[in-house]
Structure 1
Amino acid sequence: MAQQGSTSEPEAKPSIHGDVLESILSHVPLIHLLSASRVSTSWNRAVSSSLAHLNPVKPWLILHAHSSRSPYLTATHAYDPRSHLWLDIRRPNQSSLKLASSALRSSHSSLFYVLSPTVFAFSFDPLHLTWHHTEAPRVWRVDPIVARVGRCIVVAGGACDFEDDPLAVEVYDPATRTWTMGPSMPEILKDSTASTWLSVAVDEQRMHVTEKSSGITYSFDPNAEIWDGPYDLRPNQNVYSCVIGTLHNRLIVAGLVGNMENLNSVKLWEVRGEMGKEFWWMEMGEMPKEMVKKLKGESECVASIAMNAMGDFVYIHNPSEPAEMIVGEIVNGTCKWRDVPNVVMKDKTRMQRMVVGCSDVSLGDLQKAVSENRNFAVKIRAGN
């Protein structure tokens, strides 16, 4: 025992490690785990274990607020459902990205593209750090269907000139940097070839195209160059509009029940079986009434909705009233809902467009983004 008045050695502070450290890290936003993973080898392992077992990474909602007037500025934001945070993504001293005069667009959640009479540019990496540029398709289009199927990019419909085939299909191969003409879209879609009237989803081999109002669906295999269908993906006659997506390569349908002047409910189904043989619908969930009201906003009628789907998440919004994002998470085959105020559009004017997608963002993606001079700033916590 030390004598009274003598100086004793200071007690060593206990280190945080093991399950305790992993539990703490499970509450840390993903963007901040990047620096935590660099503390030491043991911390890096703890970050990985925490993400694997306690609070996994969840698909981010990626949102671009795009000015429709020169100089066509686009500010990029993201919502991280794992941490319930809105983030600003920007370059140092530059809050927005200048794009060509053609509008930025998105398709089937993960693909972003810009189409002009001379150039076609597209990006599909999680944070859209890399853009691929090539010459425009032969057929000039105003509002085509665009999808990435495997390694190919399919551009279909949307032709703006009466001299062109409105059902024309072209396929771009990034490996050879060449365009080839594919079989035209089915004749039944002639009056609705624009993406405004169609919903698109992809799996590993096919592009699925659904006419929103009727549910009529065709599937296109760019390798076999074959269109299959038609299939009726409208789950029942009470659904007046539907959109499609894929979760883990499974086709899902979000349907509006009622009519445009009176939207009663929004339901989500998974398509089971195999289209072309025998398939059926399994209901995954119905959006709570209070969220349907928020989805409608001040709209007198809701003709359709937009849905982005990835992993176990769906993000649904009303394109004409994007103040609320409705988030659905699939847990054990059923959908759990929550609404997330769209803080990005809160102070935006009508002169700005919103382009929406979602991405599986990993720590590696964040590391690459930081190395390429992207900054991530927490905008606001959106609540649980």
Structure 2
Amino acid sequence: MSDHNPKEPNINTLSIDLTELILSSLPIPSLLRASSVCKLWHSLISSPSFTSPSLSHPWFFLFGLHNTSSKNNQSFAFDPLSNTWFRLPHLDDSSSSSLLGSNGFFFTTTPKFSYTPVLKTTWRLTSPLKYSRINPLVGVFLDGSSGGYGFKFIVVGGVRFIGGLVDIEDRLAVEIYDPNHDSWELCPALPADFRTGNSSQSLSSALFKGKFYVFGIYSCFVSSFDLQDHVWSEVQTLRPPGVIFSFLISCNEMLVLAGMCNAPRGPSFNLWKIDERTMEFSEIAIMPQSLLYSLVDSEEDEKFASLKCVGMGNLIYVFNEEYHQKYPACLCEISAENGKCSWRRVPQLPSPVNKFHKVISFCSTVSLNHIFRQQEDVGPPQAMYH
């Protein structure tokens, strides 16, 4: 005889549609736990047709590289809805010194170009780049014209080594990779204005309305590459008053410039909305001073120089790529309804955190399908709660 009181609700009596609706409201860590409750819930959550608002919130990925021992490399992912860090499995790749990340993928560019989804551990080699390079900008864009995978990669800038020396004069052609045909298409190179700083160390990029924008972090030069017509726009300068360095980010339906300013009232980290037609800017937010100074060591002379910024959707992450505070970060959420910006601190990375010589960061939405496939291969990612 059942112990269930018929006067009390029983979730097992709910319809499948209602059960799926309830599950869809959970953040991803809760979905992973719920999938272990029973076969029905696992079947619903792991189904390719399952949708959840939490899947549209971009995660913050941070990968740390150690230059002498790959065993000290670490990778983490932050889920903003659950305010939770995940420790990701170790990336098994011997070319980690040329590792890059962009919108759901890790890439290596030398000695061969390869890629893997961030929540999988299977690397796929491509046919060789026409121009092998290090530290290029890499973007992932949707392209349904040829069916199949439905996405392509664009590789812009970077530097070549010739005889052990860096060739800063070679601007390198843009190359676009089609995974359906395993082929690279050569396109016009980055405009000559970017010649003195054409690597990802001095450039930021943003995919917005069919264009790949390239922006000089320090030079403030900006130009866009039309992904359909394969032409570059005229180079312009985008420098709000007092800007020291800044990053261009695609957020929702607008371009955002995020940067460090030397303003009359003191140092500040500002956000500006950019009109992509005129390149005019209007300020939308300033990071609270207490939050800004929590990201740096106040005793350092160049304390703000190591701040970096990435973003996607309605979230912008600002973090310090130096080890002294174990890579602290904060985020700004831009409301889709009224454009209001709200700031908050991101929890500390889970200990132990190694000292890295290079930090790779980017934002990406995540796929539950990839998470479940990863669980089958290597076990679930380890969640760290704070």
Q: Give the TM interval when normalised to the shorter protein.
A: 0.7 to 0.9
Q: Secondary structure at the residue paired with 2:88? A: strand
2: distance between equivalents of 1:149 and 1:353? 26
How far 1:106 moved relative to its partner? 3.0
Whether the 8 Å CA contact 1:126–1:359 is kept in 2: the answer is no
- Supply the AA of the counterpart residue of 2:113: F
Which one of 34, 41, 51 corresponds to residue 32 of structure 2? 34
Q: Secondary structure at the residue paired with 1:227? A: coil
RMSD: 3.5
1:93 maps to which residue?
A: none
2:334 maps to which residue?
A: 330
1: distance between equivalents of 2:268 and 2:340? 16
Residue 266 in 1 paired to residue 269 in 2? yes
TM-score when normalising by structure 2: 0.79
1:4 maps to which residue?
A: none
Describe the superposition over 1:56-93 as per-residue Cα deviations: whole angstroms up to 9, x where unpaired. 75222222233322445543322111111122233xxx
How far 1:289 moved relative to its partner? 0.3
Identity of aligned pairs, percent?
A: 24
How far 1:249 moved relative to its partner? 5.1
1:3 maps to which residue?
A: none
- Supply the AA of the counterpart residue of 2:365: D
Single out whichever of 307-316 and 106-115 deviates more from structure 2.
Answer: 106-115
Describe the superposition over 1:342-367 as per-residue Cα deviations: whole angstroms up to 9, x where unpaired. 324x5444355332222212433322
Describe the superposition over 1:250-289 as per-residue Cα deviations: whole angstroms up to 9, x where unpaired. 3211021118xx97111112223x33xx343243311110
1: distance between equivalents of 2:272 and 2:25? 32
TM-score when normalising by structure 1: 0.79
Change (3 A) 1:31 1:129: farther
- Unaligned runs of at least 5 residues, structure 1: 1-7, 91-95
Single out whichever of 332-341 and 175-184 deviates more from structure 2.
Answer: 175-184
- Supply the AA of the counterpart residue of 1:292: L
1: distance between equivalents of 2:273 and 2:97? 32
How far 1:245 moved relative to its partner? 1.2
How far 1:169 moved relative to its partner? 1.7
The count of aligned residue pairs is 358
Which one of 95, 120, 137 corresponds to residue 145 of structure 1? 137
User: Which structure has more strand as a fraction of its residues?
Assistant: 1
Which one of 311, 314, 323 corresponds to residue 312 of structure 1? 314
Residue 296 in 1 paired to residue 296 in 2? yes
Residue 206 in 1 paired to residue 221 in 2? no
1:60 maps to which residue?
A: 59
Residue 105 in 1 paired to residue 103 in 2? no
How far 1:105 moved relative to its partner? 3.1
How far 1:340 moved relative to its partner? 1.6
Q: Secondary structure at the residue paired with 2:345? A: strand
1: distance between equivalents of 2:167 and 2:45? 61
1: distance between equivalents of 2:199 and 2:81? 35
- Supply the AA of the counterpart residue of 1:373: V
Change (3 A) 1:307 1:11: closer
Q: Secondary structure at the residue paired with 2:294? A: helix
Q: Which of 1 and 2 has greater Rg? A: 1
How far 1:98 moved relative to its partner? 2.4
- Unaligned runs of at least 5 residues, structure 2: 143-151
- Supply the AA of the counterpart residue of 1:256: M
Whether the 8 Å CA contact 1:114–1:121 is kept in 2: the answer is yes
